[in-house]
Amino acid sequence: MIIITELYHVLTAVVPLHVSMILAYGSIKWWKIFTPDHCSGTNRFVALFAVPLLSFHFISTNNPYAMNYRFIAAVTLQKIMFLDTAGSIISFRLDSDIISSDGKEPLQSEAEIDEDGKLHVTVRKSTSSRDSLFAIIKKP
């Protein structure tokens, strides 16, 4: 049975996140406060600075000796059991025409699984962006 205090703790952790997400969505779609360029800059900041710094902070303040031993045992057991069925990425190839991940040009990816279960991933520019680029270059 769920106790009211437990529900309160869950809601105090989840509600601020959802309210901020709804406000962010509304400020872009409904109220037109931010442009797509603003969103691209914010996403780039989060990807390059915020996530690595917060990850470092979390990892550096984590005390592995204070972790729950049943949790560690469950994760270890899970890693040992799905080894034969899990696919492993054997090669990851990026085409030379990919310049940056600024989000302005669409990317296309292909994944192939060999007979032995090995996964090969290839990332390249979208063919439609290539066609439009060549069309712009060919115009007089």
Residues 120, 112: Cα–Cα separation, whole Å: 5
Contacts by 116-119 with C-beta closer than 8 Å and gap 24+?
A: 117/87, 117/88, 118/87, 118/88, 118/90, 119/87, 119/88, 119/89, 119/90
Q: Is the pLDDT of residue 54 over 70?
A: yes
Mean pLDDT of 110-137: 65
Tens of pLDDT, residues 10-19: 999 999 999 9
DSSP classification of residue 34: S
Element (H, E) at 87: none
| Confidence (pTM) | 0.44
Q: Is the pLDDT of residue 87 over 90?
A: no
Q: Is the pLDDT of residue 133 over 50?
A: no
The sheet carrying 107-113 orders its strands as 88-94, 118-125, 107-113
